[in-house]
Chain A
């Protein structure tokens, strides 16, 4: 180490170290900059490219949606101020007056038409065409009125439009093919919205830097600058918060949450999540992975027997799952949607936990020694999914259903589930739109490509009453009547116990103590505009 022997060199070294030290640990929240450490980010800055939650979350900073989805996923006016049914297949949207894009041009009906028609051209594999799947034609009546023709009565169209981002028909005109879209948007010239923040720079998987748009129609945002940093590792994100590098983080793990409660410098915000864990039981005649206790074949599929399904439900101790497995970050669930959503049924009772009765029912059904199943779950998709799977396996084994637990990566799970290779499986389902047609229409209706219903019904569940209610609900334009139809469909689906809901998850955010306040959103979005500085 001869280099640092002279006093001058030593002084220089000390200076460098001091320089390194001084710039670190600066809090940002004071000087009008908000730095957010988030788990995932956009896949491009083209809002129409991906339907991924973190993609939409980032897009909401730059662009507005036609219909806004509030903290509890209730629909509210966004760029559209009101909407009404004209006839069975026509909706009319009135647009907000005086809204300007970041480049100073006016927002009008042409931009809405352009955005809707652009989506099928540029959508990626996480396809955004779902938001406009019911749209047959868009008609511009005047600059502030647009009529949407649908391919049939589309009662939930305003719910579809909560993720219909509006881009500028002028700025994005040349960037609306798969080849040019990302170039135009990621490079900047097309990334012009009406949202609360303007794009400064973006690096894929890195930082999204934003600057306040002072003419925003909701009013000036609380932060002059917003930096959205992608930090996929849970521990690193928390470390960055503690080190003062970021002001707010999302998705704090349950283990870290316990530790945070002893740390006065950090505040945690817990919010309900839209995700409910559902156990799904195969109704096919020859389910793979279900066998007799000695490994031989069974005469029939035990999961087709209602009393066996009842026994499985009775074996599950939801309270323990929440308290022990999820460290308290969840709630017992009795249906596939959180309470309060459009179509959730408040009269459904919370299932009991009664292992003795479960054994009795199994014996009566002809399985006094139980049977054996292979249980599959995701282990890396949602907080606690792998642990819930383990707990579930033990609870089922206790009543005599010998369970082989397979908690595996979503990379393997979803393709195999799509190939119908699983008979007993559990994964989370998030009702991202806040209403029942999204959930029941995909899971509870029998799989019918003609009707475009039941696409995720992978257990061959078919209940004629439920099918009828869901078909009626999809075309019923009166809100109260539709709500009643979905509530009934939910009650009937849950009573069949082919889908057994276990727990509703919760999400944790964290911020430096006494710096910011914000309300957790049901869809788990972290939106800078709604994060307020304290004092």
Chain B
């Protein structure tokens, strides 16, 4: 097992090297960040001095080598734009994104599976059809549009919830969180719903498909024949059997939502990492882009690894194969 983990981490390192090189070359091809942000009064001399101070006058390979050398000292560099260490810059925004994403992915999964299992269990009921209709909507309507409609309905017309921002936060373990306060929760609701909708729809469909398939299988037949209560069958047998694809998708969705919650964050003025990375791309803030992509790669690797390990925990067949 440890050999397997090591192999995965090695793969990740390779991907990260390739990723950082691509960002360096890409940004270099677009041009010089200084040209975007320097004020118009700047003389030729001031421009050259600014470029030199950021180390952008060096040849590309030299810039990359400096980056790699610093990386081995645990230093991901400083943002061109904010002149802050990129790690603290990203760490400062991460809690905001984290709580938003966790809330939305978890609630989408819990409600999605519940409704999906019901829709698969009673496929011909009116409620099941209604659930499936909603899920089509969740799939096909673009996130930014739903976000605007949510704001229009619940913030502008009804005035129930705030239209954006993060609201009151409290410090827990040295990090600012907004979910423990009522004001923070009120700010969380709309963006979380917006972000959850697509995942909710997907979870419904996955759970429904899995349920329909498993319900017709031998496991359920034998369990019923053995006289086990229907609710126990659902809980102990059905849920376990449909959980493998759901966990895979959950992991992938968690990662991609953490990394790319940007649309929702922009519409709801949510101060998370998604906004940070988009702003950084707009001004070619290379250190932030590189660090962010490296961390994202690492995140995906860790999540996928966790998912794989979870499989082994849930499915004895996989466990047996791994041990062999």
| A:445-460 near B, CB below 8 Å | 447, 449, 452-453, 455-456
Return the contact of B164 from the options A129, A236, A416 (Cβ within 8 A).
A236
Q: Mark B140-162, 1 if CB is under 8 A from A, else 0.
A: 00000000100110011011111
Is the Cβ of B189 less than 8 Å from the Cβ of A232? no
Is the Cβ of A130 less than 8 Å from the Cβ of B42? yes
Stretch of A20-28, A347-355, A494-502 that contacts chain B: A20-28
Return the contact of B50 from the options A125, A244, A455, A456 (Cβ within 8 A).
A125
Q: Which residue in chain A gives the minimum CB-CB distance to B51?
A: A125
Contacts of B162 in A (CB 8 A): 24, 240, 243, 245
Is the Cβ of A205 less than 8 Å from the Cβ of B43? no
Is the Cβ of A24 less than 8 Å from the Cβ of B276? no
Asked whether any CB of chain B lies closer than 8 Å to the CB of A419, the reply is yes
Asked whether any CB of chain A lies closer than 8 Å to the CB of B232, the reply is no
Asked whether any CB of chain A lies closer than 8 Å to the CB of B80, the reply is yes
Is the Cβ of A244 less than 8 Å from the Cβ of B159? yes
Q: Would you give the shortest CB distance from B44 to chain A, in whole angstroms?
A: 4
Q: Which residue in chain B gives the minimum CB-CB distance to A20?
A: B186
Is the Cβ of A125 less than 8 Å from the Cβ of B284? no
Bound together, the chains give a CA A418 to CA B30 distance in angstroms of: 11
Stretch of B10-18, B66-74, B197-205, B267-275 that contacts chain A: B267-275
Number of interface residues of B (CB under 8 A): 61
Bound together, the chains give a CA A232 to CA B281 distance in angstroms of: 15
| B:173-218 near A, CB below 8 Å | 176, 182-183, 185-186, 189
Q: Would you give the shortest CB distance from A140 to chain B, in whole angstroms?
A: 26
Asked whether any CB of chain B lies closer than 8 Å to the CB of A6, the reply is no
Contacts of A181 in B (CB 8 A): 83
| A:396-422 near B, CB below 8 Å | 409-412, 414-419
Asked whether any CB of chain A lies closer than 8 Å to the CB of B230, the reply is no
Kindly name the residue among B39, B92, B161, B176 whose own CB sees the greatest number of chain A CB atoms within 10 A.
B39
Return the contact of A438 from the options B41, B148, B266, B267 (Cβ within 8 A).
B41
Is the Cβ of B266 less than 8 Å from the Cβ of A44? no
Is the Cβ of A442 less than 8 Å from the Cβ of B41? yes
Q: How large is the interface on A (under 10, 10 to 19, 20 to 34, 35 or more residues)?
A: 35 or more
Bound together, the chains give a CA A474 to CA B98 distance in angstroms of: 54
Asked whether any CB of chain B lies closer than 8 Å to the CB of A239, the reply is yes
Is the Cβ of A455 less than 8 Å from the Cβ of B47? yes
Residues of A within 8 A of B (CB): 19-21, 23-25, 43-44, 49, 51-52, 124-127, 129-130, 133, 178, 181-182, 203-207, 229-233, 235-237, 239-240, 242-245, 409-412, 414-419, 429-430, 432-433, 438, 442, 447, 449, 452-453, 455-456
Residues of B within 8 A of A (CB): 30-47, 49-50, 54, 80-84, 89, 92-93, 148, 151-152, 155-156, 158-166, 176, 182-183, 185-186, 189, 266-269, 271, 275-276, 279, 281-284
Beyond A124-B81, A235-B151: 10 further Cβ-contacts under 8 Å? A20-B160, A125-B81, A127-B42, A182-B82, A239-B151, A240-B164, A242-B163, A243-B156, A416-B31, A432-B40
